[in-house]
Amino acid sequence: MQVGWWNNNFNPSRVATNDGGVVMKFNSQVCTTKEQSERLLALVLKKETADMAYEYKPKHLADTDPDKDWILVAHSPCGTDIPAWSLHRLIEMMPQGIQDCRYRSFALAVNSEGVSYEYHYIDEEGQGYNDLIGCTDLSDNLYDDIIAHIEWLIGEGYFNKEYLEE
């Protein structure tokens, strides 16, 4: 399924036709940018884990300009495609829970306060507490926050190795 054309100033929240006219505009980012995808690849995520891809396509078949346009497609990358991950896919690859050295189970939390793994407990007096690990403060871009958290998970050995290159 073809989603749309982009020029080199790619904005994954804006879908455009091959003549430059806007077809639709999303209110939010639909997948990782090329730069965010490169960060994930540098963390040795397998290309095959992506659920979208940027294909390199010229606007016109006779175009010999080396700065060709990119087209975002909703399928796993192949060949020279640049992989792209939807937010759903990134969260799906993250462990939904992790255990610390004291055998406490922490649950994944992605919310308006940031990305973290949270442990909720109540003491003997009935007072509730939360412990957080791997917490990243919410930045201007949730994808950047998720990528930073995946980097932390890999560094701590919590990220599933089946998603990583050997």
Length of the chain as a residue count: 166
pLDDT, position 166: 85
Give the whole-angstrom CA distance, residue 75 versus residue 157: 29
pLDDT, position 7: 40
pLDDT, position 65: 54
pLDDT, position 92: 94
Instruction: Flag residues of the chain having pLDDT under 50.
Output: 1-10, 13-23, 66
Paired sense of beta strands 52-57 and 97-99, if any: unpaired
pLDDT, position 26: 60
pLDDT, position 12: 52
Considering Cα of 17, then 22, then 23, then 24, what sign does the dihedral take? positive
Rounded to two decimals, the pTM is 0.72
Give the whole-angstrom CA distance, residue 75 versus residue 60: 23
pLDDT, position 6: 41
